[in-house]
Chain A
Amino acid sequence: MHRFCSRLAGVVLWLLFPLEGFAVGAGDTAPDFELPAMGNELPMSLADFTGRVVYLDFWASWCGPCRKSLPLYEEMKGEFPEDRFEIVAINLDEDRYDAVRFLEKHPVSYTILLDPAGTTASQWQIQAMPSSFLLDGDGQIIKAWAGFTSSHLEEIQNEIRSSLH
């Protein structure tokens, strides 16, 4: 009973005084990773994308906004030059079959990396699903987004455009 009371008190305090999450954000150096790519299984790291602006998205098939965003990113990709801009989507499904099934219905042409254990998500201190980051060609984070709504899309496009100049 005492443990329950303290737990309840903790919850109430937690709700009244929310602590700020500390995700990796704008201005930080992007933590490196090495993850297998879907399809060829070849490991890829940030080094494979040096020189290009990268839109990095952490997603999973069970997350509603993630499902909405992926096809929209595919459309967005076509607006920017391929040699200067790349989209990389890191999938966090525990069971890759869930991701495969989703992508069969909504195929995308950009790179999908697999992080089923969530180690990279942990390193990047992801606070919400989905979470996305815009990286410049030198591995620095320009901007970060938590969650996805359709109004984010325009902002993302603007940021990509200005980073390419």
Chain B
Amino acid sequence: MRFARPSTSARVFVVVLCVSCTACAPVQPWERGRLAQPQMALEADALLSAMDQHVYTSKEAASGGVGPSGGGCGCN
């Protein structure tokens, strides 16, 4: 079976995945303290993230990646 040659972005993705998975061993439930730190959150601040999306989507052609947004912020 042949796979198509992976694109650059796909390769970068895999490299990032492997480089950071130092031990690649399963993480035990009691070993998740660092992941639980506030600075490690995927979304640090819900209101700030919502406002960021709103501002950038009003000024740029790309949408938030999560769907239509802009909310009538005029922002001409």
Contact = CB atoms under 8 A, between A and B. Distances in A.
Q: Decide if A and B are genuine partners.
A: yes
Interface of A: 1-5, 7, 58, 60, 62-63, 92-94, 98, 118, 121-122, 126-129, 131
A63 B36 contact: yes
A2 B3 contact: yes
Contacts of A127: 29
B64 to A, nearest CB: 25
Interface string B1-19: 0010010001101100100
A163 B30 CA distance: 29
Nearest to A63: B36
Given A1-B14, A62-B33, 4 more contacts: A1-B3, A5-B3, A60-B30, A121-B29
B13 to A, nearest CB: 8
A82 to B, nearest CB: 29
Given A1-B3, A5-B3, A93 B29 contact: no
19 contacts: A1-B6, A1-B14, A2-B3, A4-B10, A58-B30, A60-B30, A60-B33, A62-B32, A62-B36, A92-B30, A92-B33, A93-B33, A94-B33, A118-B30, A118-B31, A121-B29, A122-B28, A126-B29, A129-B30
A117 to B, nearest CB: 10
A6 B28 CA distance: 22
Contacts of A3: 14
Contacts of A7: 17
- Pick from A92, A93, A128 the residue with the most CB of B within 10 Å: A92
A70 to B, nearest CB: 16
A5 to B, nearest CB: 7
Give the most central of A62, A93, A118: most B CB within 10 Å.
A62
Interface in B25-41: 28-33, 36-37
Contact of B17 (A4, A60, A92, A93): A4
A33 to B, nearest CB: 14
A4 B14 contact: yes
Contact of B30 (A1, A2, A5, A121): A121
